């Protein structure tokens, strides 16, 4: 009976070890594929830059900058003007003055 339990435990440990090895192999393959994709991307980008003539670069830069300026102008927030609140400010100052005067008068009589 004890042998059966030991075999079960050993089999489970071996299965887990095999699963870990399979996952490790899969990760290694994925890393290899990602490296190949990055190399392809870099190679294609370099080829694209080589195809652009040196005299076209300034015009392309100007075109991209112009497009960027247009996009930024479209996205500018419309600033809301603060409404004139001079009446509110004058009212607050008047109330504070009345409160201070009332405090002074109360202090004199008591």
Check residue 98 and give its pLDDT: 97
Q: Are 60 and 52 in contact (CB under 8 A)?
A: yes
Q: What length is written for the chain?
A: 110
pLDDT band at residue 101 using 50, 70 and 90 as cut-offs? very high
CA 76 distance to own-chain centroid: 20
Distance, in Å, from the CA atom of 84 to the CA atom of 108, rounded to the nearest integer, reads 39
The 10 Å CB-count burial string (b at 16+, else e) for 63-88 is eeeeeeeeeeeeeeeeeeeeeeeeee
Residue 52 has pLDDT above 80, yes or no: no
pTM for the predicted model, two decimal places: 0.32
Residue 37 has pLDDT above 90, yes or no: no
């Amino acid at each position: 009976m004890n042998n059966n339990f030991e075999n079960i435990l050993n089999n489970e440990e071996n299965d887990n070890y095999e699963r870990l090895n399979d996952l490790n192999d899969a990760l290694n393959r994925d890393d290899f594929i990602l490296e190949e994709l990055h190399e392809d991307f870099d190679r294609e980008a370099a080829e694209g830059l080589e195809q652009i003539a040196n005299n076209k670069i300034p015009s392309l830069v100007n075109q991209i900058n112009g497009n960027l300026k247009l996009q930024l102008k479209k996205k500018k927030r419309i600033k809301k003007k603060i409404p004139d609140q001079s009446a509110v400010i004058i009212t607050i100052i008047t109330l504070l003055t009345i409160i201070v005067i009332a405090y002074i008068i109360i202090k004199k009589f008591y």
